[in-house]
């Protein structure tokens, strides 16, 4: 899955961080339709782009790469497509796990996995267990994930702590909620990339991307390659992140 070919690292992240990039992988269906094929062919081609993106993230020494694979709203698709996606997910876990482990990647599945079949849940547990002690790239696959669900499950955890006398209501703040949403142990997301031409975040990491930069491209996900990834990072490098404050230029102008 991961190429051993080395790439020159782009110095776009702060010196103390190696970067956390999240990608909304959109456009598989349109890619297949443009070729007169069924949607599943687009999803299969999209797996190749996942391989390229993970290889890029490993070779550029990212802290984390988070991929939006299956949203909680995707259950509204046809039963045939959902079944094909679940089978593709299971096969990808089986075929890519050894390579991920070899390259020191820690795999995490974020989302409500309880709705998946038992066999897929077991594959997920096995994959996470095998790679849990790896300390290279953290690869998060968002599956049956929604940003609203994430915040709600975090609030429920805090509510349980209040009921158990562990936490006082007045202690609930931004920091305490940040500790119970998905990926709380990782650096905040720096950059969100969305392929496929849409200009929205589609209920993805609503809490975690509050100060992330956004990059939208018309490239469909199966066509996403290193060049597009580098374009996104180059665009990110030109941004001046404010985190709710002002830039030095703004301060001087005032």
Catalytic positions, written as ranges: 26, 74
Query: Known binder of ligand: residue 207?
Result: no
Neighbours of 46 (CB within 10 A): 26
Query: Known binder of ligand: residue 60?
Result: no
Q: How far apart are CA 212 and CA 244, in angstroms?
A: 11
Query: Known binder of ligand: residue 213?
Result: yes
HSE (side-chain half, CA atoms, 13 Å) at 18: 14
Residues shown for the chain: 254
Query: Known binder of ligand: residue 52?
Result: no
Query: Known binder of ligand: residue 194?
Result: yes
Query: Known binder of ligand: residue 23?
Result: no
Query: Known binder of ligand: residue 81?
Result: no
Query: Known binder of ligand: residue 148?
Result: no
Query: Known binder of ligand: residue 125?
Result: no
Q: In what order do the strands lie in the sheet with 20-24?
A: 106-110, 138-145, 64-71, 20-24, 191-194, 213-216
Query: Known binder of ligand: residue 245?
Result: no
Q: How far apart are CA 47 and CA 25, in angstroms?
A: 10
CA diameter of the chain: 60
Which structure tokens are listed for 115? Answer: 């709705």
- Residue 66 class from Cβ within 10 Å (0-12 exposed, 13-18 middle, 19+ buried)? buried
Query: Known binder of ligand: residue 201?
Result: yes
- Cβ(105)–Cβ(131) below 8 Å: yes
Whose structure tokens read 């589609």? 202
Query: Known binder of ligand: residue 112?
Result: no
174: Cβ–Cβ under 8 A, 6 or more apart, which residues?
A: none
User: Which residues are annotated as part of the binding site for substrate?
Assistant: 27-31, 39, 43, 71-73, 75, 77, 194, 200-202
User: Which residues are annotated as part of the binding site?
Assistant: 26-31, 39, 43, 71-73, 75, 77, 194, 200-202, 213
User: Which residues are annotated as part of the binding site for Mg(2+)?
Assistant: 26, 213
């Amino acid at each position: 899955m991961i190429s051993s070919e080395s790439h020159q690292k782009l110095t776009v992240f702060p010196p103390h961080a190696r970067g956390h990039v999240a990608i909304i992988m959109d456009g598989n269906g349109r890619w297949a339709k443009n070729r007169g094929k069924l949607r599943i062919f687009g999803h299969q081609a999209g797996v190749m782009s996942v391989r390229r993106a993970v290889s890029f993230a490993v070779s550029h020494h990212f802290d984390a790469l988070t991929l939006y694979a299956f949203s909680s709203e995707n259950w509204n698709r046809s039963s045939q497509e959902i079944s094909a996606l679940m089978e593709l997910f299971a096969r990808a876990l089986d075929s890519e796990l050894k390579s991920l482990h070899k390259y020191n990647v820690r795999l995490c599945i974020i989302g409500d996995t309880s709705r998946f079949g038992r066999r897929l849940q077991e594959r997920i547990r096995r994959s996470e267990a095998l790679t849990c002690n790896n300390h290279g790239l953290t690869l998060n696959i968002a599956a049956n994930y929604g940003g609203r669900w994430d915040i709600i499950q975090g609030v429920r955890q805090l509510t349980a702590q209040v009921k158990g006398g562990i936490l006082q209501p007045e202690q609930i703040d931004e920091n305490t909620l940040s500790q119970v949403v998905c990926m709380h142990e990782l650096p905040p997301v720096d950059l969100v990339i969305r392929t496929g031409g849409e200009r929205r975040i589609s209920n993805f990491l609503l809490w975690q991307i509050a100060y992330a930069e956004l990059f939208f491209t018309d490239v469909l996900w199966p066509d996403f390659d290193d060049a597009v990834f580098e374009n996104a990072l180059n665009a990110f490098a030109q941004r001046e992140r404010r985190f709710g404050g002002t830039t030095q230029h703004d301060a001087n102008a005032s």
